[in-house]
Amino acid sequence: MTSLTHLNLSLTGFRGKIPPQIGNLSNLVYLDLSSVFANGTVPSQIGNLSKLQYLDLSGNYFLGEGMAIPSFLCAITSLTHLDLSLTGLMGKIPSQIGNLSNLVYLGLGGYSDFEPPLFAENVEWLSSMWKLEYLYLSNANLSKAFHWLHTLQSLPSLTHLYLSHCTLPHYNEPSLLNFSSLQTLHLSDTSYSPAISFVPKWIFKLKKLVSLQLRGNKFQGPIPCGIRNLTLLQNLDLSGNSFSSSIPDCLYGLHRLKSLDLRSSNLHGTISDALGNLTSLVELDLSYNQLEGTIPTSLGNLTSLVALYLSYNQLEGTIPTFLGNLRNSREIDLTYLDLSINKFSGNPFESLGSLSKLSSLWIDGNNFQGVVKEDDLANLTSLTDFGASGNNFTLKVGPNWIPNFQLTYLEVTSWQLGPSFPLWIQSQNKLKYVGLSNTGIFDSIPTWFWEAHSQVLYLNLSHNHIRGELVTTIKNPISIQTVDLSTNHLCGKLPYLSNDVYDLDLSTNSFSESMQDFLCNNQDKPMQLEFLNLASNNLSGEIPDCWINWPFLVEVNLQSNHFVGNFPPSMGSLAELQSLEIRNNLLSGIFPTSLKKTSQLISLDLGENNLSGCIPTWVGEKLSNMKILRLRSNSFSGHIPNEIFQMSLLQVLDLAKNNFSGNIPSCFRNLSAMTLVNRSTYPRIYSHAPNDTYYSSVSGIVSVLLWLKGRGDEYRNILGLVTSIDLSSNKLLGDIPREITDLNGLNFLNLSHNQLIGPIPEGIGNMGSLQTIDLSRNQISGEIPPTISNLSFLSMLDVSYNHLKGKIPTGTQLQTFDASSFIGNNLCGPPLPINCSSNGKTHSYEGSHGHGVNWFFVSATIGFVVGLWIVIAPLLICRSWRHVYFHFLDHVWFKLQSFSSYSITV
C-alpha cells in the first residue's frame, strides 16, 4: 500500500514490535500508532518517511526499552506533530531535535512509574522551535536546568505548556519570567527545588491564561487572591492541595469561569452567596472537603451549570427547590449531580423531580427519608446512573409500573423494596450494575431475571431473605461477572457458572450436598473465576479434586461447612492463590504438601479441623509472602519449625490448641513485620486479581478470625495493623526465648497453657507496642520484671497460675488490672489484697478460683471459732454463770421497753 498517506492504528489492540516494513510507506503524511501496546525499539526505517508531518507513538510504555530518543527521528524535518510521551524512552534529549523547526506540537512526557528523561542544562535546541505552540512534558527533572523556563518564554508561538509531574527550579523573583502569550499552563503534581508551599507568584502575571491547572501540589495556607488578576480564566483546577481555608470571595470575581475544581483541598466554612456571580459555570466540583451549612440560594443563578459535585462534605438541610430549575434559554439542564456522603435530610425528589435531562444522580450516604412514588420519578426520563444507598427510602409503586428511564447503574442498598422481588427491574434492559442489598426482599429470584439481564456485569442481592434454589444448568449457567448473593436463605445445589464469572459470593446461605457438579463440570476451558466465597453453608462430602480447571483463583473461602477427608492435591495448581480459608470443617490428614507450589499465598487459615502430623519446614521457606498463618485447633504435633520464624512478612501466627512440643524457636528477629514500630502499612491486607474487568473486583480484602483480648472476632478493615503470636494450649517446654523482646511491633502475645519454665525475659519492657500479654497456666518462675510497667499500651495482662514471686511492679496500668490476673503465684502488692512484708517474705493469693490454700482466710476462720468458744464454753459448763448471763439479758430488755414507752408518750 505504498500510496497510503494516512494510517491510524491507535487503540486497536495490536501488540508486539512495530514492523520495519512500515518504512516502505514512503508517501505517509500521517502515522498514529499510539497505545497499540508496542514493545521493542522504534524501527530505524521510520526515518525514511521524509513526507511525514504527523507522528504519534505515545502510550506504548515499553517501546523504548530504556533507549534514548533515536537520532533518525530528528531527521524528519517535515514533522509538525511529534508525540513520544509514555514510550519508555529516556536519557538526554538529543540536541539534533532542534532540527525539527517546523514542529507545532512536541510531546516528551512520561509517568513516575518509569524512569524519566534526563534533561541537560543545555536547552539551546528549544530556541530554534519558533513555530512551537504545544509543549507537553511530564515527570521530568528540570531543577538543574535553571535557564529552562527562560528559554521557553522566548518562544514566540508557545501558547500551551504542560509541565505536570515535573521538578522545576523555584524563582524567588517573579519578574524574571514573562510568558505573555501563554493560554494554557498545567503544573499538576509539580515539585520545586528548593521546595515551596505556596503558589508561585509569577503565575499571576499570565494575563492571557484561559486554563490553569495546579492540582496536587500540596500548597498550604489560604487560596491566594492574586489569582483574580487572571480575568480571562475559563478553567481553574486547584484540587488536591492543603489550603485549609474557606473559599475566598476573590474566586467569585472570575466571571468567565466555566470549570472550577476545588475538590480535596481541605476547604472549610460555608459556601458563600457570592457563588451566584459565576454565571458562566458549566462544571463545579467542591467535593471531598469540610464544607458545612446549607446550599446557598444564589446557586439558582448558575443557569449554565451541567455538573455539580458536592459529595464528601458536611453540608446539611433539605435540597432547595431551585436546584430543580437550573436551566437557561438554551434548555441546558443539570445532567450530573453528586450530593453523596453529607448530612442532607428530607425527601430530595420533591426538588429534583423536574430535572428531565439529569443523567447521573448520586445521593447515597445522607439522612434522606420518605416514600418515593411513581410520580416522583416520572420526569427523570434521562436518568442512567442512580446511586442512593444508605438512606431511609421506601419505594411504593404499582406491580405494573414501568419507569420512564433506562438505567445502566442502580444502587439502592438499604431501601425498602420488598417483600416481593421488584418486577419493574425486568424493564431495565440496559443495566450493567445492580445493587439491591438489604432491601427487604422475601421472595425467590424469578427465572426471567437471569435471561432478561444477561448484559448485567455486577449483581448484589446480599443481606435479604431470598429463598429457594438457583435454577441453572450447564447450558444456562450464571454468566454475570460479579455475583453477591451472600446472607440469604438460598438452598439446594450450588449453581452452574459460565466462563464469564470473575467474583462469586454465596456465603451464609443453606446450600447443601457436594461441590462435585459445581467444580468439576467445566472441563472444556479454564474458568476465569478469581474470588470464590462459599463460607457458612451446609456443603458436605470431600472437597473435589478439580481445581486445575480454576487457574486464576486469588481467594478461596470454604470455611464453616461440613467438608471431610483429605486436602485436595490439585489445589496446589492455583498459582495465583493469595488467600485460602478452610477453617471450621472436618478435614483430616497431614499438612497439605500441595501448597508448596502456592508461593503467592498471603493468608492461610486451616484452623478448627482434624489435621495432624508435623508442620513441614518448607512452609517457612516456600511461602515467603505469608502474612497470616492460622492453624489453630487441630492436632498438629512435633516441634515448631525454626523456618516459620524466618517469614519476614508474617504479621499473625496462630498455632494455639494443638499438640506442639519442644522449645519455642528463638529466631524472632527475622519476623521483620513484627520488629518495626510505626511500620508503614495499610489498615487492610489486599489480594490482587490478575485480570481487570469492568465492575469486577481488582482486589479483595483479606479477613481472618482472631482470638485477641479474650474473644474471637473477624478482623478485616484493620487486619493490616495487627501483629499477633498465639502459641497457647500446646505442650511447649523450656524458657521463654529472650529474643522475643526484639519484637517491638508485636501487639498481642499469648503463650498460656503450656509447660514453660524460667523467668519472664527482662527486656519485655522494650516491646512497646504490646496491648495484651497472656503467660498464664505455665511454670514460669522468678519476679515480674519491673520494665513491664513501661508498656503504656498494655490493656490486658495475665500471669496467673505460675511460680512467680515478689512484689508486683508499680505502673500506670498494672494496678488497674483485676487481681485474677496475678493469682496462683507468690506475689504481693496491689491489685492483690496482700501487702508485701518488710522482711521480704511473700504470700500466696489464690482468689475465688484458686487451687492452693489461702492461709489468710484459714487463720481468720480459726480465730473466729476459738474466740466464740472462749465465751460459749463457760456458759455450758457452769449453771450459775448461765443464770447471771440470762438475768442480765432480761434486765437490758426491760430497760429498752421502758425507754420505748416513754418516747411514744412524749
Q: What is the pLDDT of residues 258-288, one digit of tens each?
A: 999 999 999 999 999 999 899 999 999 999 9
Range of the domain at 171: 1-196
pLDDT digits (tens, 9 = 90+) for 741-757: 999 999 999 999 999 99
Q: What is the DSSP letter of 553?
A: -
pLDDT category at 200 given cuts 50, 70, 90 is confident
Note whether 487 and 508 are within 8 A (CB): yes
Longest CA span, the chain: 144
pLDDT of residue 90: 75
Nearest CA to 540 out of 506, 504, 512, 575 is that of 512
Answer whether 532's CB lies under 8 Å from 557's CB: yes
Terminal-to-terminal C-alpha distance of the chain: 133
Query: For the chain, what is the mean pLDDT?
Result: 86
pLDDT, residue 629, reads 97
φ/ψ of residue 468, rounded to 5: 90, -175
- Least confident interval from 454-468, 675-689, 885-899: 885-899
pLDDT greater than 70 at residue 331: no
Q: What is the pLDDT of residue 494?
A: 95
The proportion of the chain whose per-residue pLDDT surpasses 90, expressed as a percent, equals 58
- Residue 225 pairs in a beta bridge with none
Beta strands in 356-463 (DSSP E): 360-362, 367-373, 385-387, 392-396, 409-411, 433-435, 458-460
User: Which residue's C-alpha cell is 431495565?
Assistant: 428
Q: Which pLDDT score is estimated for 678?
A: 67
Residue 447 has pLDDT above 90, yes or no: no
Three-point CA angle 591, 592, 598, nearest 5°: 125
Domains of the chain: total? 1
Contact 238, 211 (CB under 8 A): no
Q: Which of 223-232, 565-574, 879-888 shows the lowest per-residue confidence on average (mean pLDDT)?
A: 879-888
Q: Please, which pLDDT band fits residue 575 given cuts at 50, 70 and 90?
A: very high
pTM for the model stands at: 0.82
- Residues forming beta bridges with residue 39, ordered by sequence position: 17, 62
Q: Give percent above pLDDT 70 in the chain.
A: 86
Q: Any residues with CB less than 8 A from the CB of 421 and at least 6 apart, and which? A: 441, 443, 444, 445, 446, 449
* pLDDT confidence of residue 842: 47
Asked, for residue 426, whether it belongs to a domain, the answer is no
Q: How far apart are CA 798 and CA 819, in angstroms?
A: 10
Query: Is the CB of residue 43 less than 8 Å from the CB of residue 19?
Result: yes
pLDDT of residue 523: 64
Which residue stretches of 234-381 are H helix?
A: 349-352, 374-377
DSSP 846: -
pLDDT digits (tens, 9 = 90+) for 635-672: 999 999 999 998 999 999 999 999 999 999 988 889 99
In a domain, 164, yes or no: yes
What's the pLDDT tens digit per position in 771-809? 999 999 999 999 999 999 999 899 999 999 999 999 999
- Which DSSP string do the residues of 142-192 spell out, in sequence order? -TT-TTHHHHHTT-TT--EEE-TT-EEE--S-GGG---TT--EEE-TT-EE
Q: Is residue 759 part of a domain?
A: no
Calpha distance 154→170 (Å, rounded): 19
Structure-block grid coordinates of residue 432: 450493567
Residue 707 has pLDDT above 70, yes or no: yes
Q: Measuring CA to CA, which residue among 54, 63, 56, 119 is closest to residue 89?
A: 63
Q: Is 60 exceeded by the pLDDT of residue 844?
A: no
Highest-pLDDT range among 177-186, 351-360, 890-899: 351-360
Is the confidence at residue 4, as pLDDT, over 50? yes
636, 707 Cβ separation under 8 angstroms: no
Query: Cell 497510503 belongs to which residue?
Result: 4
Query: How many residues does the structure list for the chain?
Result: 906
CA-based nearest residue to 449, from 465, 472, 473, 474: 472
Decide if pLDDT at 339 tops 90: yes
| Sheet with strand 826-828: strands edge to edge | 781-782, 803-807, 826-828
**pLDDT of amino acid 872:** 61
pLDDT at 814: 86
pLDDT at residue 130 in the model: 86
Strands annotated E in 762-879:
772-774, 781-782, 796-798, 803-807, 826-828
What does the pLDDT read at residue 849? 43
Q: Can you give the pLDDT at residue 170? A: 67
- Which pLDDT belongs to residue 906? 34
Chain centre to alpha carbon of residue 662: 40
What is the 3 state secondary structure string of 710-756? CEEEEECCCHHHCCEEECCCCEEECECCHHHHHCCCCCEEECCCCCC
Type of residue at 219: F
Of 231, 290, 241, which Cα lies nearest the Cα of 261?
241
Give the pLDDT band (50/70/90) at residue 852.
very low
Q: Is residue 425 part of a domain?
A: no
550 pLDDT above the threshold of 70 = yes
126 within some domain: yes
**Separation CA 746–CA 585 (nearest Å):** 30
Q: By the 8 A CB rule, do 169 and 143 touch?
A: yes
Contact assessment for residue 184 and residue 203, using Cβ atoms and an 8 Å cutoff: no
- Cβ proximity of 632 and 608 under 8 Å: yes
Q: How far apart are CA 364 and CA 340, in angstroms?
A: 5
Q: Does the pLDDT at position 207 exceed 70?
A: yes
**Lowest model confidence (mean pLDDT) among 144-148, 430-434, 854-858:** 854-858
- Nearest residue to 71 (alpha-carbon basis) of 54, 95, 49: 95
Inside any domain, residue 899: no
What average pLDDT score do residues 557-567 get?
Answer: 96
Model confidence at 898, in pLDDT bands (50, 70, 90)? very low
Report d(CA 366, CA 310) in Å as an integer: 12
Which has the closest alpha carbon to 778: 749, 807, 745, 741?
749
Model pLDDT, residue 622? 92
pLDDT of the residue at 890: 55
By the 8 A CB rule, do 218 and 242 touch? yes
**Contact predicate 745/767, CB 8 Å:** no
pLDDT, average across residues 553-581: 95
Q: Distance between CA 140 and CA 191 in Å, rounded?
A: 10
Determine, yes or no, domain membership for 296: no
- In this structure, are strands 826-828 and 160-162 parallel, antiparallel, or unpaired? unpaired
Q: How many separate helices (H) and strands (E) can be counted in the chain?
A: 9, 60
Are the beta carbons of 192 and 167 closer than 8 angstroms? yes
Q: What is the pLDDT, as a whole number, of residue 711? A: 85
Query: Which residues make Cβ contacts (< 8 Å) with residue 150, sequence separation at least 6?
Result: 176, 177
> Nearest Cα to 486, choosing from 458, 505, 511, 465?
505
Place 889 in a pLDDT band, splitting at 50, 70 and 90.
Answer: low
Which CATH number does the domain housing residue 171 bear?
3.80.10.10
What confidence category does residue 724 fall into, taking pLDDT thresholds of 50, 70 and 90? very high
Chain-centre distance for alpha carbon 429: 33
58 in a structural domain: yes
Peptide bond into 569 cis (omega under 30): no
Give the pLDDT band (50/70/90) at residue 903.
very low
Choose between 154 and 606: higher pLDDT: 606
**pLDDT over 80 at 124, yes or no:** no
Q: What is the pLDDT of residue 299?
A: 87
